[in-house]
Amino acid sequence: MSLTCGIDVGGTKIAGGVVDEDGTVVENLRVESPATDVEAIEDAIAGLVAELASRHDITAVGVGAAGYVDRSRATILFAPNLAWRDVDLKAELEERVEVPVVIENDANAAAWGEFRFGAGHDVDDLLLVTLGTGVGGGLVVDGQLYRGGFGVAAEIGHLRLVPGGVRCGCGMRGCLEQYASGSALVRDVRELAAGQSTGSDSLLERAGGRVEAIDGPMITQAAREGDGFARGRLASVGSWLGQGIASLAAVLDPTVVAIGGGLSEAGEMVLGPAREAFARNLPGGDHRPLAEIRKATLGNDAGLVGAADLARR
């Protein structure tokens, strides 16, 4: 059975793993990400590959990176949280690791991993939505990863939901990720707690009275324990998410929408309201099949597994 290596490069960590043909991670490693130093990032990737290759017969390497990757899967055009700008990462890494290398956007790689081995394994069309610091996405159509004319398709976090709304890091206003991301949830709750909104006192107590100490896991845990205020804020995120999925489905018509990322750990507290809002807002929703909204299943390994499988192909 052939083995390939998947690398998932983020702003805080770089994960590497050996993956077999069934999508099983045979071994994985993790190091901190030197995000501001191009050469140091490449050194870290090459070091991970070398260590894994010392114990496994690796035939190719797939790298999932948080940024815009060109259509040839070679050059990183821009990475908002990393130092890469127009870097031919494929060529530079192949000199170091001496096996074929494929570069892919990290959300695309995760979508492919979920399509092949996770939440979309039983369908031909899948939209992956990842809810973390921002909102990412990847799209598989008729069994093929859809990358667009220039390789930068499925940046769904920047779908405009609210004209003139909250300013986004992309420079526009009203993007989906300003309403349906983990960061949006925390921003919303902190603002309400600072204004002593009704029901927020329990969360503020959990945070030791410090508004800035409130974070996503704290909100989710409070909701699990029955905190009505926390549940309401998660439901609001889910509602925005469902509205965004409805707009995307009107154009893309996926069979399954898989929800991943850290905020997906809230489960039905987000997914339930998302399904309801999706059904309400989908054009012609009473007269057409509804896409199934599922929780992604591969967790943090989705990008690594997807990148490794793309390299194998």
Tell me the pLDDT of the chain averaged across its residues.
93
Cβ contacts of 227 within 8 Å, gap of 6 or more: 202, 203
Q: In what order do the strands lie in the sheet with 135-141?
A: 144-145, 135-141, 126-131, 256-260, 292-295
What tens digit of pLDDT does each residue of 1-22 get? 799 999 999 877 899 999 999 9
Q: Check residue 133 and give its pLDDT.
A: 84
d(CA 277, CA 270): 11
Whether pLDDT at 81 is above 80: no
Q: Check residue 308 and give its pLDDT.
A: 97
Average of per-residue pLDDT across 156-170: 92
Average of per-residue pLDDT across 145-160: 91
Residue extent(s) of CATH 3.30.420.40 domains in the chain: 3-113+301-312, 122-296
Whether pLDDT at 91 is above 90: yes
Q: Check residue 311 and give its pLDDT.
A: 96
CA atoms within 13 A on the CB side of 212: 0
Whether pLDDT at 132 is above 90: no
Do 115 and 140 form a contact (C-beta atoms < 8 A)? yes
* Global confidence as pTM: 0.91
As its CATH architecture, domain 3-113+301-312 has: 2-Layer Sandwich (3.30)
Fold observed for domain 122-296: Nucleotidyltransferase; domain 5 (3.30.420)
The CA-based diameter of the chain, rounded to the nearest angstrom, is: 60
pLDDT band at 34, cuts 50/70/90?
Answer: confident
Do 138 and 107 form a contact (C-beta atoms < 8 A)? yes
**Residue ranges in the chain assigned as alpha helix (H):** 38-53, 89-97, 106-117, 177-180, 182-194, 201-206, 216-224, 228-252, 268-281, 302-312
What tens digit of pLDDT does each residue of 195-225 get? 988 899 999 999 999 999 999 999 999 999 9
- Amino acid letter, residue 294: R
What tens digit of pLDDT does each residue of 35-63 get? 788 889 999 999 999 999 999 999 999 99
